[in-house]
Amino acid sequence: MNEFIDWLSKYLGIEKNPTATIIVSLSVFCLGIVINELLKAIGRFRERRAIRELVRRNYLIFHKYLYQQSQSLKLFESLVTVKGGPNFNVYVRPCSALDNFKDISYSNSFKAFFVGFENIKLKGRIKRIQAFDNLYHCISTIRKEQEKMFPIIGSFKDEAVQIINKLNKSLKEAFEVTADVAVELSSKPPNLELNKWLSHRHKIYQACFSKGDPSDVNEVRKYFIEILDFETANSKPITTIMNSKEFWYYHKKIHSALGDIDSLNTLVSNTKSYCKTISDKFEYTAQDLKHIINRYLTENLNKKYINVD
């Protein structure tokens, strides 16, 4: 060291003491930089490690949520009928992982898995990148589906109530006008043709209402369709109590009830179909994630993070 100081002193043309002071100052400065950068590197390493654990834990929560929400949607779909349906909010499961992934951010997660000396793994790197990208693609897809799902399915009950209220009114009118026709024709002087007509019409009624009011509104729909078909094909008795315009308005009231029943059926069918589609999508997404993510992003996951109930 003395020889180096002598050489540097002669080279700089200054005395040994100032030269030694310069060397010490530079050494302390460089050491400070090294220590500072080392502490920063350790801090970044610990941050990346923490983010990796958070991503892995939230992936497990997200994966479990996909299966649970899929099953909840299937249950909700099975309970949706023309009579109504349950409160959709009861079948909505929260998923904290979706918000957590957003807070962590794609950039920070990527750095945690692919930046730093601890992530220098040439083998399987492409697979890990694909798994990582697949995870965030699925998160984005599910978040969008959630945003669409709540207003679509959540509004089912309100829409059903509106249609059912309208249907109750149109059914009341349809039953009244069909009953009025039967009563008025029954008061006519009896004849063989009229008796036969009334008897056949009564059989149509009995087929639907012999055991009381049917629980399925589609049975009522079937009844009204049979009435329309029969009266359209055998309209002669009705022409004795109605002109063509009155006959048209009479059947129009029945068609209005049928239209409301069809609207209710369409709402139920569309809701059930949408529930099934989304349920299948959630389940498929969970299955799609399971193999590649479990293998490439959850390896060496701490045991304490496995239970995410």
Does the pLDDT at position 302 exceed 50?
no
HEC readout, 25-42: HHHHHHHHHHHHHHHHHH
C-beta separation of 59 from 97 below 8 A? yes
| pLDDT-based confidence at residue 184 (cuts at 50, 70, 90) | very high
pLDDT for position 125: 78
Domain membership of residue 235 (yes or no) is yes
More confident residue, 40 or 282: 282
Q: Specify the number of domains making up the chain.
A: 1
Domain membership of residue 304 (yes or no) is no
Domain membership of residue 168 (yes or no) is yes
Structural domain including 178 reads 159-268
Please list the residues that pair with 84 across neighbouring strands. 81
- What are 7-41's pLDDT values in tens digits? 656 666 666 666 667 767 777 778 888 888 788 77
- What are 245-281's pLDDT values in tens digits? 999 999 999 999 999 999 999 999 998 999 999 999 9
Domain membership of residue 123 (yes or no) is no
Does the pLDDT at position 309 exceed 60?
no
* Average pLDDT for 182-199: 90
The C-alpha torsion from 72 through 74 and 75 to 79, rounded to 10°, is: 140
Domain membership of residue 306 (yes or no) is no
Instruction: Tell me which of 1-10, 64-73, 86-95 is least confident.
Output: 1-10
pLDDT for position 172: 94
Does the pLDDT at position 300 exceed 50?
no
Domain membership of residue 179 (yes or no) is yes
DSSP 81-140: BTTB---GGGGPPP-HHHHHHHHH-HHHHHHHHHSSGGG---TTHHHHHHHHHHHHHHHH
Instruction: Tell me which of 149-158, 203-212, 271-280 is least confident.
Output: 149-158
d(CA 152, CA 59): 27
Does the reported pTM lie above 0.85?
no
Domain membership of residue 140 (yes or no) is no
Taking alpha carbons only, the member of 43, 58, 38 closest to residue 109 is 58
Domain membership of residue 250 (yes or no) is yes
Q: How confident is the prediction for the chain on average, in pLDDT?
A: 83
pLDDT for position 301: 45
